[in-house]
Structure 1
Amino acid sequence: MMEKAYAKINLILDIVGKRPDGYHELKSLMIPIDFYDELYFEPSDQVELISNVDIHNNAILKTVQLIKDTYHIQRGVKITLNKRIPLGAGLAGGSADISATIRGLNRLWGLNLPNRALTQLANALGSDTLFCLYNQRAVIYGRGDQISILPPGKPIQNITLVCPNIPVLTKDVFGVFEKAVAHDFEIVYNTYLVTKKESLLYNDLLEPAFKVSPKLKDIYNHLVSLGLKPHLSGSGSTCFLFDLTEDQKNLLKNIDDVTIIDTQEHQ
């Protein structure tokens, strides 16, 4: 049995400020994309994870244990992870794996959990996990624990990801975050959904990510110098671009230490 763990990109990311609980209050317009990890689930007497990438403190095992403890499950599971989403890329790869594990175990163990229970599990395990649980165009609020799923609309096609081969840690980016410009998020994202004006997109973590990773800033500025319009996903390090021509894509091949991925909005 297989589950796909879809990556996401933040079309708009607005950081409202720091909360009393230490998290940051955010608002974000997000879409899932057709770029994913694969998780395979098999019955087993024990809990076993096999991965093609070594991930320290892999949250998949934490997810399995939480579900076993919460619902008093005595069975085990063998999970095989085919990891494709880069680590520290702003694409929610870890959160996507957690959410895919929740969906996979719900099916494998026949738990038939309602959405409310699935949501509680997701929110207990991370900030992007709720979005990744449902993989639909949505607006996310709070620390990522509140979701408003939007009508699908026409999917965004021809998305190109430029993934620098450098991880950027979210906690480091938030550690240097300072609010620079205030936007009216509700007006901006609703206007974007109607007009699709790319100039409306923004990410409050862009400058903080540059502070944490000067190399990311160099790559971003190089894309701009090529006449392109890059956007940062999450806390980075992935930049995404829309509707590139073949000539423009060929320009990307000359950039060192990046992985180029062509994708589209998942529906």
Structure 2
Amino acid sequence: MLVLAPAKVNLSLEVLGKRADGFHEIVSIMQTISIVDTLDIRPSDRLELQCSEPALECSDNLVLRAARALQTKDAGTRGCRIVLRKEIPIAAGLGGGSSDAAATLRALPRLWQLPRSETDQRRLAHDLGSDVPFFLRGGTALVQGRGERVRVIPGYHEQWYVLAGPHLHVSTATVYGAVRDGEWTDGRATRRVAARLDAGGGGGLGINGLEPALFRLYPEARTCYDAIRRVTSSATRVSGSGPTVFSLMSSVDEAQRAAWVMQKQGYWACTAHSLPENAE
């Protein structure tokens, strides 16, 4: 069984404050894009994970945690062998690990012939990580709470992007922990983008309340952001906690030209387009 796990960008992301459980309250618009990890899942008598990034072949990998969660609930000792090919950059604000976990939650009930309950699936996704519930369906969605409240925005708007980033891994928890009280916002900017999308238009980009903290902690991310702003005059944001930055492009040709310029400056860079809900 071959399963695709797409990356995401945050078209807008606001941090509203800190919750009693230690997490942060957010409101965000997430969009799945065409940078995709691939999971090849086959029957086995035990759980096994092989990854194109050997450092990820560990018991704490979200793919194995998702499989173990399904075992605990319904599957007993059933196993599988998962070969994970990574294309999504690691710790880059693109949600790769969370998407891999959601792909596992979608695929294994089919492989193991388990009862499929959307309620149970959402609960398991929530327990695995804040971004995992969004990736169960993908597309375009308004995401609230710590990530557990997901409202899919109907309709599909194809949009091309150029993405670029410095060659470094960023800790999401560290960036969230560095957000200052004065940098919290009320969510209105993000909800305005959602309203434009609900009305059937292009939503554009909102804000990212994590950018100030990211730039303080990782000056290389700010340098990359400034570099892509010199390459294109299009709207530009950091995705998630970074360090990936992305810009809206009017065509694939424009996106490819911008990616080439960023690569020549030493950044990793690529093009991508938006994906609809439930794209496999």
The two structures have a TM-score, normalised by structure 2, of: 0.88
Give 1:239's match in structure 2, choosing from 237, 242, 245.
Answer: 245
SS in 2 for 1:253: helix
SS in 2 for 1:8: strand
- Taking the aligned partners of 1:186 and 1:203, their CA distance within structure 2 comes to 9
> What is the total number of aligned residue pairs between the two structures?
264
Give 1:224's match in structure 2, choosing from 229, 237, 261.
Answer: 229
Give 1:117's match in structure 2, choosing from 120, 140, 144.
Answer: 120
In structure 1, the gaps of 5 or more residues are none
Residue 214 of structure 2 aligns with which residue? 209
Q: Residues 108 and 174 (structure 1 numbering): CA distance in 2 closer, same or farther, change over 3 Å?
A: same
- Taking the aligned partners of 1:187 and 1:175, their CA distance within structure 2 comes to 24
- Taking the aligned partners of 1:250 and 1:165, their CA distance within structure 2 comes to 16
Is residue 63–residue 98 contact of structure 1 (8 Å, CA) maintained in 2? yes
Residue 261 of structure 1 aligns with which residue? 270
1:24-173 to structure 2, matched below 5 A, reads 24-53=24-53, 54-55=55-56, 56=58, 57-156=60-159, 158-173=160-175
1:189 aligns with 2:193: yes
CA shift for structure 1 position 214: 0.8
Identity, % of aligned positions:
30
In structure 2, the gaps of 5 or more residues are none
Q: Residues 239 and 77 (structure 1 numbering): CA distance in 2 closer, same or farther, change over 3 Å?
A: same
TM-superposition CA deviations, 1:90-140 (whole Å, max 9, x none): 000010011011111111101131211111110110000000111121100
- Taking the aligned partners of 1:32 and 1:213, their CA distance within structure 2 comes to 25
CA shift for structure 1 position 72: 4.3
Residue 176 of structure 1 aligns with which residue? 178
- Taking the aligned partners of 1:26 and 1:207, their CA distance within structure 2 comes to 16
CA shift for structure 1 position 161: 1.1
**Runs of 4+ in structure 1 over 3 Å off:** 194-198, 225-229, 246-250
- Taking the aligned partners of 1:116 and 1:185, their CA distance within structure 2 comes to 30
The one-letter code matched in structure 1 to 2:156 is G
